């Protein structure tokens, strides 16, 4: 991996977890601690992170948590279209899992007014959006808090789903491709996403078209783990053809 690619992956991880230790990053990327410190020096000079003893944290992460705002707000128009399409697959009386993420947050905003709906989530902001709705029962997982995504992660979050049987899952991803499958910047999320999939009868992957054909650091597994992909009309024809060829159900929001 080139140095520029490694720094991009480190920044992706910090945007997901909020902070990281030098020793953990060195182990993760299989390089020396000196190399990681040089990477963090470069990212700090670019104004993206703040170095601290033994590691670094994402710049402005405290403000994001204080205002309950998500770090990743790119392509919001596409995410809003996807969220609106998802409502066609949610009926009153359903039990659903809403994964953490900006697209799933847009889904949550549109569920206000629903009745007899059970929502299980690992996202604090989604719980706050829906928690005061009289017709919606909100259940939260436990786990380790990740400031940039306002989410709970790790083995404790994954264990929460053990033995549950939920009708529908709306799952987020950082990147998806036929080669790498479903990918995420943070390894701690992998066990949680897998547990969500195992607990759901039907899994809908919600991903805007800019994520298709891209890969993040850690792979959850093949696209065959999910039942449907819901994306926007910006998806390239070559990706549509590949999904059809591999019998992957695609839903396009216009």
Strand runs labelled E in 100-208: 117-121, 136-140, 144-146, 151-153, 166-171, 175-177, 181-184, 200-206
DSSP character string of 95-109: EEEE-SSHHHHHHHH
pTM listed for this prediction: 0.83
Beta bridge partners of 147: none
Host H or E run for residue 192: helix 190-199
Residue 78: its pLDDT value, please? 95
Residue 73: its pLDDT value, please? 67
How far is 144 from 97, CA to CA, in rounded Å?
18
Length of the chain: 254
Q: Retrieve residue 203's tokens.
A: 């899994």
Host H or E run for residue 221: strand 218-221
DSSP 8-state secondary structure symbol assigned to residue 120: E
Q: Retrieve residue 121's tokens.
A: 């989530």
What are the chain's domains? 3-59 (1.10.10.10), 76-253 (3.40.50.1360)
User: What is the SS3 string spanning 141-153?
Assistant: CCCEEECCCCEEE
Counts for the chain of helices (H) and strands (E), in that order: 10, 15
Instruction: Give the pLDDT of the chain (254 residues) as one tens digit per residue.
Output: 788 888 988 888 888 787 888 998 898 888 999 999 999 999 999 988 889 889 888 877 776 666 666 666 678 899 999 999 999 999 999 999 999 999 999 999 999 889 999 999 999 999 999 998 999 999 999 999 988 889 999 999 999 999 999 999 999 999 998 888 999 888 889 999 999 999 999 999 999 999 999 888 889 999 999 999 999 999 999 999 888 888 889 999 99
Cβ contacts of 60 within 8 Å, gap of 6 or more: none
Q: Give the 3-state secondary structure of residue 4.
A: helix
Q: Calculate helix-pair angle for 76-86, 102-109, nearest 10 degrees.
A: 50
User: What is the SS3 string spanning 46-97?
Assistant: CCCEEEECCEEEECCHHHHHHCCCCCCCCCHHHHHHHHHHHHHHCCCCCEEE
How far is 168 from 170, CA to CA, in rounded Å?
7
């Amino acid at each position: 991996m080139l140095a520029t690619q490694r720094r991009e992956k480190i920044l992706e991880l910090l945007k997901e977890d909020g902070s990281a230790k030098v020793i953990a990053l060195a182990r993760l990327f299989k390089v020396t601690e000196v190399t990681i410190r040089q990477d963090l020096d470069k990212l700090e000079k670019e104004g993206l992170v703040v170095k601290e003893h033994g590691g670094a944290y994402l710049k402005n992460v405290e403000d994001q948590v204080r205002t309950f705002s998500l770090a990743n707000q790119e392509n919001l128009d596409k995410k809003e279209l996807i969220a609106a399409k998802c409502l066609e697959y949610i009926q009153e009386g359903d039990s659903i899992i809403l994964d953490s993420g900006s697209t799933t947050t847009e889904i949550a905003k549109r569920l206000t007014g629903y009745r007899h709906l059970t929502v299980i989530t690992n996202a604090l902001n989604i719980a706050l959006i829906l928690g005061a709705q009289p017709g919606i029962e909100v259940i939260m997982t436990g786990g380790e808090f990740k400031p940039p995504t306002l989410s709970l992660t790790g083995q404790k979050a994954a264990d929460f789903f053990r033995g549950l049987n939920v009708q529908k899952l709306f799952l987020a991803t950082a990147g998806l491709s036929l080669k790498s499958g479903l990918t995420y910047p943070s390894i701690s999320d992998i066990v949680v996403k897998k547990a969500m999939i195992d607990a759901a009868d039907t899994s809908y992957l919600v991903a805007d078209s800019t994520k298709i054909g891209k890969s993040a650091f850690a792979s959850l597994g093949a696209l065959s783990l999910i039942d449907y992909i819901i994306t926007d009309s910006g998806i390239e024809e070559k990706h549509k053809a590949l999904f059809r060829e591999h019998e992957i159900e695609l839903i396009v929001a216009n």
